[in-house]
Structure 1
Amino acid sequence: MKYSFRQLEVFLAAAHTENITRAAQRLSMSQSAASSALRDLEQQFDIQLFDRVGKRLQLNELGRLLRPAAEALLEQAQDLEQALSQHRTPGALTVGATLTIGNYLAVGIMSRYMSEQEGARVSLEVANTSQIVQQVLNFDLDIGLIEGELHHPELEIISWREDRLVAFCAPEHRLATLGSLDEQALRQTPWILREPGSGTRQTFERALHGVLPELDVRLELQHTEAIKRAVEAGLGVGCLSMVALRDAFRRGTLVPLAVPGRDFSRHFYFILHRSKYRSAGIRRWIELCREAPRIS
């Protein structure tokens, strides 16, 4: 072969960091060795993979075209090395999860994954749906777990499990004794919601299509716990996943509210780049997610 796996590692690290010094640090190499590896790769094929802007390396059209193939090739090589040196067991994973999944589901799955084999590691990135999608597209994550509906030609979207949002208020709220929100109450009550770009907000807006311009959105917060605390303090009504609300309903610190005629059901999904190699670790992670107990 005219190229080495080390050259591909430098290419991908430079694509990720956009800087040869940081790429070298990421690979525990000297800057000169990393620069030489990237230069040799380009010279061997008489190509240019980056546009050089000062010290910044920005992938050009050819670099963007070749990056998925290089990512997949290295993943397969690492999987083969692991199978040859030990058993065919899952290894390190970089997982992204939206806030509801990351805070209430992923940690338990991660614990089981790591307990199955000695030395396995999982890095968990928790962010909203749009951020997780971008990181999967950029190959910064091996797999994403999201709660928003999505269509993208470069991503494989796999249905995982059903979920539903629930409107809720504090026990002392005037709506608590009624137990439901009619169309008039929907418009008149102050709402405390997740931020735009989150899967929860997407489902909420889909369910309340037709009355959105009339809603009193009092606060938009990025964290489910902050929303729950604000609702407990009597600042308004919230709407979150049942996964995030189950314990609070059991304790009686929050009260569920029915919303007749509105569909708050949704799905959780796995997302993977279509060019991403499905390693043993990714396959086992998906299996463990599917085996996780349901929350009703």
Structure 2
Amino acid sequence: MHYTLRQLQVFMAIARLENVTRAAEALSMSQSAASSALKELESQYDIKLFDRAGKRIRLNEHGRQLRPQVEALLAQADALEHTLAAHNTPGTLQVGATLTIGNYLAVELMAQYMADETNARVELTVANTQSIVDQVLHFDLDVGLVEGELNHPDLNVIEWMDDNLKIFTRPDDTSTADHALSDEELQALPWIVREPGSGTRQGFDRAMAGLINKTNIRLQLQHTEAIKRAVQAGLGVGCLSEISIKEDIERGLLKPLQAPHRNWQRKFYFVLHKQKFESPGVAAWLELCRQYAAQPG
């Protein structure tokens, strides 16, 4: 074995930051040392891993092919170090969650995880499905919790728990009768929905299959609370996860609408990179999430 873990750490830092100076700072080493480590790695195997353009340095095709294996190897080395130093205690877990999951489920899960795992930490990133998927693909996140369905050759997408979308309006809205809405009525409603790229929007588009091209979408907003406030202000009707509006309906702040002939069911998913080593922390997090989903109610 001719390469060193330090050389691989330098390679990963430069790949992530696309700048040798910033990579060296992140690794607490000099720029010359970082440059030398990369040069030695490339020289040992007679390979170029980056394309250089001025101060920018980006992975070339060889580097992109190598990155998943290096990421997996360093993750295993890190897990081994934690095992030796801390008796297999999980360290910092990088979790990404879509807005519904992040705002209404993830904090409770984080609290339980840190209570169960001594000295463990969770850093949570909340964004839409596409953003979370991109960060998992680039190894910036250990695991993603998403609402949208997806298929990617580099990802393991695993069913987690069931969810339902609910359509709703303001409590005093008299324009929607208290009956099951027909397709014609659904098309005529002024909709306030999530932006394309979000799992909630994907679920809405699927539920409205055959109608979506003629549906009256008045507003597209990126945040759940903004949609609820817009509906309460009388700007239209919304469609969000039942998790996010349950309390508002119970308090009389929103009124549910019914269209049972349309399929509003969907699932939440785990997303993991196939090449990323599953650390003890990731395994503990996944098990905790599964236990949460199995709870009644």
**Alpha carbons of 1:251 and 1:106: their partners in 2 closer, same or farther (altered >3 Å)?**
same
1:182–1:260: 8 Å Cα contact kept in structure 2?
no
Q: Which runs of 5+ in 2 are unaligned?
A: none
Residue 230 (structure 1) aligns with: 230
Matches within 5 A, 1:51-70: 51-70=51-70
2-side partners of 1:30 and 1:118: how far apart?
35
2-side partners of 1:231 and 1:181: how far apart?
18
2-side partners of 1:166 and 1:295: how far apart?
20
Q: Which moved more, 1:116-125 or 1:96-105?
A: 116-125
1-side partners of 2:28 and 2:174: how far apart?
61
1-side partners of 2:254 and 2:102: how far apart?
22
State the SS of the aligned residue for 1:292. helix
Residue 3 (structure 1) aligns with: 3
Matches within 5 A, 1:35-50: 35-50=35-50
1:23 aligns with 2:23: yes
Residue 122 (structure 2) aligns with: 122
Q: Which moved more, 1:251-260 or 1:168-177?
A: 168-177
Residue 191 (structure 1) aligns with: 191
Residue 203 (structure 2) aligns with: 203
**Alpha carbons of 1:181 and 1:166: their partners in 2 closer, same or farther (altered >3 Å)?**
same
TM-aligned CA deviation for residue 38 of structure 1: 1.2
How high is the TM-score relative to the length of structure 1?
0.96
Matches within 5 A, 1:238-277: 238-277=238-277
2:89–2:118: 8 Å Cα contact kept in structure 1?
no
2-side partners of 1:100 and 1:286: how far apart?
18
Q: Which moved more, 1:23-32 or 1:188-197?
A: 23-32
TM-aligned CA deviation for residue 295 of structure 1: 8.5
| 1:151-170 Cα deviation digits (max 9, x unpaired) | 11111111000111000000
How many equivalent pairs are there?
296
1-side partners of 2:177 and 2:183: how far apart?
17
**Alpha carbons of 1:226 and 1:179: their partners in 2 closer, same or farther (altered >3 Å)?**
farther
Matches within 5 A, 1:170-185: 170-175=170-175, 178-185=178-185
Q: Which runs of 5+ in 1 are unaligned?
A: none
State the SS of the aligned residue for 1:187. helix
CA RMSD of aligned residues (A): 1.4
1:169–1:175: 8 Å Cα contact kept in structure 2?
no
State the SS of the aligned residue for 2:111. helix
State the SS of the aligned residue for 2:105. helix
| 1:131-177 Cα deviation digits (max 9, x unpaired) | 11111111111111110111111111110001110000000112565
Residue 220 (structure 1) aligns with: 220
1-side partners of 2:21 and 2:223: how far apart?
35
**Alpha carbons of 1:170 and 1:180: their partners in 2 closer, same or farther (altered >3 Å)?**
farther
2:159–2:270: 8 Å Cα contact kept in structure 1?
yes
Amino acid at match of 2:262: R
State the SS of the aligned residue for 1:3. coil
Q: Which moved more, 1:152-161 or 1:21-30?
A: 21-30
Amino acid at match of 1:219: L
Residue 157 (structure 2) aligns with: 157
1:175–1:181: 8 Å Cα contact kept in structure 2?
no
TM-aligned CA deviation for residue 122 of structure 1: 1.3
State the SS of the aligned residue for 2:227. helix
**Alpha carbons of 1:52 and 1:46: their partners in 2 closer, same or farther (altered >3 Å)?**
same
1:163–1:267: 8 Å Cα contact kept in structure 2?
yes
Misfit runs of 4+, over 4 Å: 293-296
How high is the TM-score relative to the length of structure 2?
0.96
2-side partners of 1:16 and 1:179: how far apart?
54
TM-aligned CA deviation for residue 287 of structure 1: 0.8
